[in-house]
Amino acid sequence: MTFSDKTTSRRGFLAGSLGAAAGICAVHALGTRPSLAAEAPPAKPNLRFGLATYQWGIDWDLPTLIANCQKAKALGVELRTSSKYAHGVELELSPHERGEVKKRFADSPVAVVSIACSERMDWPDPEKLKAAIEASKAYLKLSHDVGSGTVRIFPNQFHPDVPHEKTIEQIAKAASEVGAYAAEIGQEVSLEAHGPAGELPTMRAVMDQVTQKSVRVRLNCDNRDTLGKGFEENFNAVKDFLSRIIHLHGLKDPTDPKTPKFPYPLLVQLLVKANYDGWALMENSDKVPDRVQALAEQREIWDGLVAKAMKA
């Protein structure tokens, strides 16, 4: 298949033939699967592992990204946008190009499960807020067109001379507007616990004012989630609003007392108890000699944590 010069200039986007891999894997159903907001929870937890392109996938074009994730058995991918990533999946793609992205993933065992934009709902400037809302809607359309089901946005922070309560109200209202559009096209808005306004108790205060079930809370697995009354209580404050996507940041060996970190074993136990059905995506920036091998090692640790929690 021959592409136009315009297409081939987009950092190798869609390089190579479209005949990647064997049949459509069942994980692709997540693009249209209801989130945890559905009335009936799944019969048992389903905690799948994948990759957020962030740093480890920053220079992998789509064929390389899919091949490397398949090799590491990280079968779900979040594509980060607006940062000149090699995968080239951006708002500028034509309808035809978006369809080719969707087909490339559908023809592989790897699912595109999320688009990560960096739009913020906290802007005190009305024009900047309006622009962020409209851009978020455009990313939801991109997500829909390439076969994903989720778009990540940020709360993101508080501002001088603006009462926290007003910012919380604004974030909830803006996210609800984005969520209304998401609901129309079968998408989920994943409001990541990110920035000073992203602490889990604050996220609960936001969600208490959100009017759309399509807006969910994404856990970012940050050590600050353990502050205050502790991680379990903070988790319980938002567990009924969880997004189908969470982010992980370097599991390493969770039993090693020399490397204090986020309490991943407790996280997995709580997710299993909540019958969580979704993806845990590795968002790592560690410098490693072999990123594919490192991703596979992270997946093995995650699978071990899940197996242990399931037995318990």
- Residue 83's pLDDT is 78
- Band of pLDDT at residue 261, cut at 50, 70 and 90: confident
Report the interhelical angle of 231-238 vs 264-273 (nearest 10°): 40
Q: Which domain holds residue 233?
A: 45-311
Q: Residue 256 burial by CB count (10 A; 0-12/13-18/19+): exposed, middle or buried?
A: exposed
Residues 264 and 225 sit within 8 Å (Cβ to Cβ): no
Per-residue pLDDT reduced to its tens digit, 4-52:
334 444 444 444 433 333 333 334 434 433 444 445 555 578 999 999 9
In-domain check, residue 129: yes
Cβ–Cβ contacts within 10 Å for residue 219, how many?
A: 28
Please tell me the distance from the alpha carbon of residue 222 to that of residue 203, in angstroms, as a whole number. Answer: 14
34 occurs within a structural domain = no
Would 26 be classed as within a structural domain? no
Supply the CATH number for residue 296's domain: 3.20.20.150
3-class DSSP state of 94 = coil
**Does 76 map to a domain?**
yes
Average pLDDT over every residue of 229-243 = 97
In-domain check, residue 123: yes
Would you say residue 259 has pLDDT above 90?
no
184 inside domain:
yes
Q: How many structural domains does the chain have?
A: 1
**Residues contacting residue 33 through CB under 8 Å, at least 6 positions apart:** 149, 244, 277
